[in-house]
């Protein structure tokens, strides 16, 4: 049973915004402090990624575990008594009240996230998703160090020197004249 009235619950949920969230601010401050430069919510890219790093051709999405259904698989949907059911994960607890609405909403969010990642990949962009639970104080530093490692690997992979072999024709002897176009 919900401890709030429907109007209180509506007001609480409506007050949650998608930009400048605490987990996003943690990632942004860490990146800036470690010399990584970025842009925010690029409007021309699919999904308006939270952080866009053009130098790395990488988009970073900082997702809330509840809103994006972290570790809740779409395949675990089962029908019980005519109602859809998704099992909870450790960090994503689906409310008991109005459960069908939340299951459908989380499912739509997961499908949209997957579609956006495919669109970005087709455009040649890398996508990195950081989950809210990965930014808890115990594992935060490990997560952010892993992010830096991944960004550096992407940069080196995309900007590595490619060795080209120059096809040799008949080698010229130093004393030999180079033929010109007029035949002399």
Write down the pLDDT at residue 76. Answer: 45
pLDDT value of position 78: 53
DSSP per residue, 130-180: EEGGGGSTTTHHHHHHHHHHHHHHHHHHHTPPPP-PPPP-SPPPTTSPPP-
176 neighbors 78 (Cβ within 8 angstroms): no
Q: How far lies 59's CA from each of 71, 127, 128, 145, in Å?
A: 21, 5, 6, 17
Parallel, antiparallel, or unpaired: how do β-strands 58-63 and 51-53 relate?
Answer: antiparallel
pLDDT in tens, 70-92: 777 654 455 556 555 566 666 77
Q: Which whole-number Å values give the CA distances from 171 to 52, 56, 143, 181, in the listed order?
A: 50, 42, 55, 19
- Residue 59 makes CB contacts below 8 A (sequence gap 6+) with 42, 45, 47, 49, 51, 52, 53, 120, 125, 126, 127, 128
Neighbours of 56 (CB within 10 A): 22
For the chain, list residues with pLDDT below 50.
75-76
């Amino acid at each position: 049973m919900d401890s709030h009235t429907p109007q209180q619950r509506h007001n609480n949920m409506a007050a949650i915004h998608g930009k400048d969230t605490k987990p996003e601010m943690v990632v942004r401050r860490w990146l800036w402090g470690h010399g990584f430069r970025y842009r925010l919510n690029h409007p021309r890219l699919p999904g308006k990624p939270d952080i866009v790093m053009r130098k790395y051709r990488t988009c970073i999405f900082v997702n809330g575990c509840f809103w994006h259904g972290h570790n809740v698989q779409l395949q675990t949907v089962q029908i019980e008594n005519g109602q859809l059911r998704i099992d909870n994960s450790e960090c994503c607890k689906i409310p008991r009240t109005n459960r069908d609405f939340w299951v459908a909403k989380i499912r739509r969010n997961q499908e949209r996230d997957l579609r956006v990642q495919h669109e970005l990949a087709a455009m040649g962009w890398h996508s990195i998703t950081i989950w809210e639970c990965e930014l808890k104080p115990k594992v935060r530093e490990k997560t952010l160090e892993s992010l830096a490692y991944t960004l550096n690997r992407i940069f080196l992979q995309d900007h590595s020197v490619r060795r080209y072999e120059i096809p040799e024709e008949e080698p010229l002897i130093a004393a030999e004249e180079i033929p010109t176009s007029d035949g002399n």
